[in-house]
Amino acid sequence: MEQVLTYSLFLLIVVITVKNSAISLAILLNVVVFRAIPYVDYKAPYYGYYNENDLILGAILPITCYIIILSKIFLNKSKIKYHTDVFDLFMLVLSIVMIISIIFSPNTFKSIYYTCIFLLLALPLYLVTKVYFLNTKKYKTRFLQFLKSIVIFAVAFSIVSLYLHKIAKYPYERMTFPGVYPIPFCLFLCTALIILLLYYIKPSFKLQLAKKSRILFSLPVLGIVLFSIIKTNTRGPVFAMLLTVIVLFFMFFKIKLHIKIIMSFLASLFIGFIIFISAFDVQKIAVRFINLAPKDAESISPRLIAYLDSIKLLIYRPWGISVGTFGDFYSDKNSSAEETGTYAHNLFMELISSFGIVGALLSFFFIYILLFEYNFIIRNQEKIFSNIYLFTALVLFIFFFFETQFSFTLNTHKGFYIAMAFYSVFKFKFINSKYEHKNSI
């Protein structure tokens, strides 16, 4: 039965991809949830397990969909448009460094496996999304379809998950769709919540939707998604949402950031932190500090230890340990949170531990990009905030960036990559329209 459901779901998503690539991208973004559908016992659901890597739905399906989306574009367009920018440069350098880092890997197989996932599944999501929206005439309509699809799927999975959690004989304390880790499930729901909130915050968003579509953004729907997020009892995506609100307030009040001062401060702080860690046994201090926290906050300690381990690796292995091997160097081997120590839990810490000095430089390069983009938005705040498409892409980009500071790895930051692609596309469209407007005057 599982195989029948798996292949049926595979074919259904392929058909959706052929019919509407925007909806397909919404599915691929959350494929970790969709791939669990065939394996759930809907009569007597049980928890405490997580689906292993699924070759059919987790790998072959996304690759097939990427090929279909690109094929549709290349067959319908005589000239393919693609605008390169700093985000493309970052992704290119990241890919090259990741491949070269395999030379320094203590476990070549793990690093090759990790790199293949990035090159075949994560990187293409960024590229395909960007190519698709740059070469689609109705890109605004398609973007709205993408957003609506996220909300529809989130509501559907919320209702089903709440029901299954209710009827389960031994429900897991953190609600999720059976077989899916609570963090990606919560991230999925938080993405939908952001879209729903934007509908109420931005009147222009509402005006872009047909009357029938507005039912999807009603308060009961928002309530279901919000309640489901609370039931997941997951911190990372919620913290990311709060930090996103803070950054948007800074942008709203046009608080300009001095890039040179901030970069100098961060560089000095980073060097000081390295010296401090090399001179003291910070791990014992950190563990002692976290022990003051209640037992239900146990996962904080392994995360901090992972951050400290990342800096230590920079000192002892300046060229890094490559990707996929962090768990082999995690110092707290007795931690009860086994999954926590398998990766660095932070975008910059993973870059540093994986690629050493090069990773540190890549981190500072990306921070510079972020600060530059922030000031660009401040300079054009009124126009960007009134452009619902660019503004929505911006909000998603900020949200997924902050999520990279708490969870996931370089080959699973799919939300971050697709949001980066959206921001890149709509920023290009915005600058183009601005340039055309000047020329017409």
Residue 253 per-residue DSSP state: T
CB-CB contact of 237 with 190 (8 Å): yes
Q: Which of 133, 178, 134, 185 is nearest to 24 (CA)?
A: 133
Q: Which two tokens stand for residue 124?
A: 């293409």
pLDDT tens for 242-291 read 999 999 999 999 999 999 999 999 999 999 989 988 877 665 665 555 55
CB-CB contact of 13 with 65 (8 Å): yes
Residue type, 65: C
Q: Phi, psi at residue 208, to the nearest 5°?
A: -80, -10
Distance of alpha carbon 331 from alpha carbon 191, whole angstroms = 34
Q: At what angle do helices 21-29 and 139-167 cross, to 10 degrees?
A: 40
Residues forming a β-bridge with 179:
50
Q: At what angle do helices 86-101 and 123-134 cross, to 10 degrees?
A: 160
Residue type, 363: S
Please list the pLDDT of the chain residue by residue as tens digits (441 residues).
Answer: 789 999 999 999 999 999 999 999 999 999 999 999 999 999 989 887 777 778 999 999 999 999 999 999 999 888 999 999 999 999 999 999 999 999 999 999 999 999 999 999 999 999 999 999 999 999 999 999 999 999 999 999 999 999 999 998 877 788 999 999 999 999 999 999 999 999 999 988 988 888 888 999 999 999 999 999 999 999 999 999 999 999 999 999 999 999 999 999 999 999 998 998 887 766 566 555 555 444 444 444 577 788 888 998 999 999 999 999 998 888 765 554 455 557 898 999 999 999 999 999 999 999 999 999 999 999 999 999 999 999 999 999 999 999 999 989 999 999 999 999 999 999 999 998 866 555 555
**Helix or strand (DSSP H, E) at 90:** helix 86-101
CB atoms within 10 A of CB 201: 13
Contacts of residue 84, defined as CB under 8 A and 6 or more positions apart, other chains included, come to none
Angle at 286 between CA 285 and CA 287, to 5 degrees: 95
pLDDT of residue 99: 98
Q: What is the DSSP string of 256-317?
A: ---HHHHHHHHHHHHHHHHHHHHHS-HHHHHHHHHTTS-GGGTTHHHHHHHHHHHHHHHHH-
Q: At what angle do helices 2-19 and 61-76 cross, to 10 degrees?
A: 20
CB-CB contact of 305 with 334 (8 Å): no
CB atoms within 10 A of CB 351: 27
pTM of the predicted model, to two decimals?
Answer: 0.93
pLDDT of residue 46: 84
pLDDT of residue 288: 58
Q: Which two tokens stand for residue 362?
A: 């890549």
Q: Which of 328, 372, 420 is nearest to 109 (CA)?
A: 328
Contacts of residue 81, defined as CB under 8 A and 6 or more positions apart, other chains included, come to 134, 135
Distance of alpha carbon 276 from alpha carbon 247, whole angstroms = 30
Distance of alpha carbon 318 from alpha carbon 303, whole angstroms = 22
Residue type, 1: M
Residue type, 103: I
CB-CB contact of 98 with 410 (8 Å): yes
Distance of alpha carbon 402 from alpha carbon 242, whole angstroms = 10
